[in-house]
Structure 1
Amino acid sequence: MIEVTETGAVTIAGVYAGVVVLSTVIVLLGLVVLACHYSPGFGGKVDRLIGRFLNDEEDR
């Protein structure tokens, strides 16, 4: 019984840690995208790359 409980606790902790890490990564990516979008020099290049990618997708 104790082993099962410990395994369950470890699994829950692992899932929780995974969710926290994923959330953090998503938030950081969002901030990077926003920063790139609003900074004039670097953002222009990123927008052009994204625009090129989207245009390629639309052409197909």
Structure 2
Amino acid sequence: MKLLKILIFGLMVILISRFAHSQWYTIYILNAQSQATPAPFQQDIAICNGSINIGPNFAYV
């Protein structure tokens, strides 16, 4: 029974890894205003593409 659980878990990991793959996307962020962005808004932006629990589906901009 324990071996069956391990086998099923292994198959789930393989299947999830096939569906949740990492890709690179080019993102252009422009400031068309003549005035600079105020300091409180100059922060890092994190975008989560999917669930963090299943792998490195995390993009840092």
TM-score by length of structure 1 reads 0.37
TM-score by length of structure 2 reads 0.36
- Name whichever structure is richer in strand by fraction: 2
- Name whichever structure is richer in helix by fraction: 1
